């Protein structure tokens, strides 16, 4: 995997950056991108998951039986998201008004309008939000403090052996060149729709209305209001059971602690950066450079 995300090579306009005065650019210059996940048409085939792995040249390991038991054995391919697994299909089951129901959900970074990771990040420019709404990491500026995961209401970023975070970047290199994100491209059943966020929200409302007509009275659009909306929008057949959709938070919002940390207590953050840089330096001096652990070795 590449440390410098290709987003920075496509010349995309940046809307805002972590620990930097904002906005860098007026959002109105560019339409926000979106993906609608129509859960009612998703068969859970994992084509999106495989396409994501392939496009980003990830090489996640084959999970052991023990690992698959960790979070409850299901059709899920790995125990959790990982630095080399940007999206994961989740499979949960529960009773609903229509009987026993299989909840199959694609989970990955939501690309929030108000990204908790970016808000929490203390390193200038390490997290960027492009004008098209995509949130991405710039590994060259990351200090490995782990605050992005703390700040994320969806608990998405995962860290490699160097404590660098990884997640879905909305296939910035593809969308920046007029291509559909790999997951949406691979979807065989038209469950993933790609377009502008505004269009996806509109289409999502249509899907939900259709579901209500088809006997899903609790169908709802999941649009992450607490973070100002997100690039990913979900049409849920059972809007009253949000938590069964791959542990989606019911009311996603950035923790008040994060706001506190980046607001009145910002100086602590600054001190923390200095502290961590000092610690890194001491570590380098005393232990030598860290070697990257090989991931996903062939069995």
Partner 1 sequence: MTNGWMDIQNADLVLVMGGNPAEAHPCGFKWAIKARQKKGAKIVVVDPRLNRTAAVADKHVAIRCGSDLAFMGGVINYVLQNKKYQEAYVKAFTNAPFIVKDTYSFDSATGLFSGYDPKARKYDQSLWGYEMDENKMAKQDPTLSDPRCAFQLTKKHYERYTPELVEKVCGVKKEEFLEVAKMIGETGAPDKAMTHLYALGWTEHSFGTQLIGSMAVLQLLLGNIGVPGGQIGALRGHGNVQGTTDLGALTAALPGYLKAPKAEHKTLQQYLDAFTPKANRESSMNYWGNTPKFFVSLMKAWWGDAATKENEFAYDYLPKYETPKAYNAILDDMYNGKMEGLFVLGANILTSSPNANKSAIGMSKLKWMVNLDLFPIDTAYFWKTSKDLDPAKIQTECFLLPGLGFAEKDGTFVNSGRTIKWRYKGPDAQGECRDEKWVFSQLYLRLKALYQKEGGPFPDPILKLTWNYKNPGSPSADEILQEMNGFAVENLVDDKGNVVVKKGDRLSTFGQLKDDGTTSCGMWIYGGVYPPSGNRSAAVGTEDPSGLGVFPNYAFSWPANRRILYNRASADASGKPWSEKKKYLWWNEGTKSWVGHDVPDIGPTLPPATGPFIMNAEGVGRLFAPALVEGPFPEYYEPYESPIANVLHPANPTNPVVKVYKSDHDVLGTPDKFPYVALTYRVTEHYHFYTKFLKGPARAFPHMFIEMPVELAKEKGIANGDRVRVSSARGSLEAMAMVTRRMKPLTCDGKTVYQVGIPIHWGFQGLAKGGLVNLLTPFVWDPNALTPEFKGFLVNVEKATGGAA
CB of 136 to partner 1, least distance (A): 25
User: DSSP 3-state assignment of 24?
Assistant: coil
**The CA-based dihedral angle spanning residues 69, 71, 72, 77, taken in that order and rounded to the nearest 10 degrees:** -70
DSSP bridge partners of 136: 128
- Residue 113's nearest CA partner among 83, 135, 90, 139 is 135
Question: Of 103-122, which residues contact partner 1 (CB under 8 A)?
Answer: 104
Please report how close the Cβ of residue 24 comes to partner 1 at its closest, in angstroms: 39
The stretches of the chain forming alpha helices (DSSP H) are: 47-55, 65-70, 116-120, 147-151, 172-175, 182-186, 197-213, 256-262, 266-287
When the beta carbons of 61 and 124 are compared against partner 1, the nearer one is: 61
CB of 233 to partner 1, least distance (A): 17
Q: Is 57 in the site for partner 1 (CB under 8 A)?
A: no
Residue 78 is a binding residue for partner 1 (CB under 8 A): yes
Shortest Å distance, C-beta 172 to partner 1: 23
Does 235 contact partner 1 by CB under 8 A?
Answer: no
Q: Are 172 and 10 in contact (CB under 8 A)?
A: yes
Contact 47, 186 (CB under 8 A): yes
User: Is the CB of 144 or the CB of 210 nearer to partner 1?
Assistant: 210
Nearer to partner 1, 135 or 192 (CB): 192
Give the contacts of 260 (CB within 8 A, at least 6 positions apart): none
Q: Which residues of 253-291 are buried (b: 16+ CB within 10 A; e: fewer)?
A: ebeeebbebbeeeeeebeeebeebeeeeeeeeeeeeeee
Question: Among 12, 33, 35, 53, which residue sits at the site for partner 1 (rule: CB under 8 A)?
Answer: 53
Q: Does 60 bind partner 1 (CB under 8 A)?
A: yes
Is there a contact between 131 and 278 (Cβ–Cβ < 8 Å)? no
Give the pair of three-digit tokens for residue 26.
């007026």
CB of 293 to partner 1, least distance (A): 18
Q: Quick one: which segment of 14-22, 72-80, 139-147, 280-288 binds partner 1 (CB under 8 A)?
A: 72-80
Which segment (1-9, 23-31, 75-83, 268-276) binds partner 1 by CB under 8 A?
75-83
Site map for partner 1, 26-45, x if CB under 8 A?
--------------xxxxxx
- Residues of the shown chain interacting with partner 1 in the complex, contacts defined by CB under 8 A: 40-47, 49-50, 53-54, 59-63, 65-66, 68-69, 72-75, 77-78, 93, 100-102, 104, 188-191, 214-215, 298-299
């Amino acid at each position: 995997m590449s440390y410098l995300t290709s987003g920075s090579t496509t010349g995309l306009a940046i809307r805002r950056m972590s620990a930097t005065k904002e906005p860098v650019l007026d959002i109105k210059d560019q339409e926000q991108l979106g993906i609608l996940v129509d859960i009612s048409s998703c068969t859970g085939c994992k084509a999106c998951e495989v396409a994501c792995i392939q496009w980003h040249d990830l090489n996640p390991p084959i999970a052991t039986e023990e690992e698959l038991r960790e979070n409850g054995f299901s059709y899920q391919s790995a125990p959790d998201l990982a630095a080399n697994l940007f999206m994961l299909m989740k499979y949960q089951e529960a009773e609903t008004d229509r009987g026993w129901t299989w909840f199959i959900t694609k989970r990955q970074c939501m690309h929030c309008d108000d990204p908790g990771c970016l808000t929490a990040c203390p390193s200038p420019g390490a997290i960027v939000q492009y004008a098209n709404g995509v949130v991405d990491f710039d590994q060259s500026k990351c200090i490995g403090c782990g605050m992005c995961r703390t700040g994320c209401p969806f608990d998405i970023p995962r860290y490699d052996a160097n404590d660098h975070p990884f997640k879905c970047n909305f296939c910035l290199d593809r969308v920046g060149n007029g291509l559909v994100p790999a997951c949406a491209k691979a979807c065989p059943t038209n469950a993933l729709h790609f377009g502008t966020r505004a269009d996806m929200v509109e289409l999502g409302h249509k899907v939900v209305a259709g579901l209500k007509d088809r006997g899903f009275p609790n169908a709802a659009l999941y649009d992450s209001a607490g973070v100002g909306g997100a690039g990913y929008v979900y049409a849920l057949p059972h809007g009253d059971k949000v938590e069964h959709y791959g542990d989606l938070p019911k009311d996603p919002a950035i923790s008040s602690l994060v706001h506190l940390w980046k607001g009145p207590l910002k100086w602590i953050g600054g001190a923390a950066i200095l502290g961590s840089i000092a610690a890194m330096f001491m570590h380098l001096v005393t232990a030598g450079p860290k070697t990257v652990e090989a991931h996903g070795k062939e069995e």
